[in-house]
Amino acid sequence: MDQEAEKRVSSSEEEVIAEWKSPSRLFKKRDREYFINIGAIVFLLSVILVFAREFALIATVLSVVFFIYVLSTVPPEDVKHRIMSLGIDSAGRFYRWEEFADFWFEEQWGQVLLVLRPFVSSRLIILLGDQPKSRIREYVAKYIPFREEPDRNWIDNAARWMSEKIPLEKPQS
């Protein structure tokens, strides 16, 4: 079968189950205290690195800080997500169900996240926006297994520990 015919057959068999728009990534407007704390940490780290004559590492640290600044000040764009019978289309990229091992939900900064773990690459994280979690779970669970609690690796544990021990801003009440 040629590629044209294959596209027509697959598009006619494909059913859109759910469709919504949400921000492309998590976003939280940061206050002045957050940037002051980051600046203090970077300054101290830079002083240490100057004495160690690690100028390339200083440039890397400053690049990461600039990246954090941009992500904290520029709001994300809205992207379209579709759950279909053959897979998930998120922000214009299509993922087949066969690529995923399992999925779960997380909540962060008042947003509900759908987290899909592929067999090979990194996780796919989709913000649910106004979509009900139960509805999305029902649809996705037809194709891949659901986990109540995901497996945590050492990077997840280290990141959680760091954010608890070194808060960069006051907890919101």
State how far the Cα of 83 lies from the Cα of 96, in Å rounded to an integer.
Answer: 10
Q: CB–CB of 114/103 below 8 Å?
A: yes
pTM of the model: 0.69
Q: What b-and-e string marks burial along 7-17, b requiring 16 or more CB atoms within 10 Å of the CB? A: eeeeeeeeeeb
CA-to-CA dists, residue 155 to 41, 69, 77, 124, 162, angstroms: 21, 22, 28, 17, 10
At residue 5 the predicted structure's pLDDT band, cuts being 50, 70 and 90, is: very low
pLDDT in tens, 85-120: 899 999 889 999 999 999 999 888 888 999 999 988
DSSP for residue 113 = E
What are residue 61's phi and psi, to 5 degrees?
-60, -45
Residue 157 in tokens: 């544990």
What pLDDT does 99 receive? 92
What pLDDT does 111 receive? 87
Q: For the beta carbon of residue 79, count every other beta carbon within 10 angstroms.
A: 17
What pLDDT does 169 receive? 67
Q: For the beta carbon of residue 88, count every other beta carbon within 10 angstroms.
A: 26
State how far the Cα of 51 lies from the Cα of 159, in Å rounded to an integer.
Answer: 28
Tell me how far apart the terminal alpha carbons of the chain are, to the nearest angstrom.
60
Complete DSSP assignment for 8-63: HHHHHH--EEEEEEEESS------HHHHHHHHHHHHHHHHHHHHTT-HHHHHHHHH
State how far the Cα of 83 lies from the Cα of 136, in Å rounded to an integer.
Answer: 8
What pLDDT does 49 receive? 92
At residue 6 the predicted structure's pLDDT band, cuts being 50, 70 and 90, is: very low
